[in-house]
Amino acid sequence: MSKVKISGFISRLKDYHHGTRGKTRRTLMLTYSNVAVHAPKEQLLSRVEADITGNVLHHYRTSCQVLGITVTNKDMHLKLTLIQNVTEISCAILETRDSQKF
């Protein structure tokens, strides 16, 4: 295949990826941070690292891949979603009684 056909194919995959799939991943990421905000405070610290933050980072990393190849992500909405997630999860951790130990 020629380089032009391959680059066109990858470009179309990126457009699709940043469309519907990107919105779905951003929604999932926001859902996990909302779970952290509304979770019972006594159960949050035991779940935040593996279950909540791990899943947020998983969805972010997979959003940066096309056909299993990691690419530079220029999707500003995805980056802003990640920042919002980190902020909300951090605020939820700070509201717990044992936040200093964590």
pLDDT for the residue numbered 15: 61
Taking only the tens place, the pLDDT of each residue in 15-73 is 665 567 778 888 899 999 999 999 998 889 888 988 999 999 998 888 776 666 666 66
pLDDT for the residue numbered 98: 77
Report the alpha-carbon distance of residue 47 to residue 74 in Å, rounded.
30
Query: Residue 14 — pLDDT band, cuts 50, 70, 90?
Result: low
DSSP bridge partners of 65: 70
What sign does the dihedral 59-17-21-82 (CA atoms) show? positive
Taking only the tens place, the pLDDT of each residue in 82-100 is 999 999 999 999 988 876 7
pLDDT for the residue numbered 32: 92
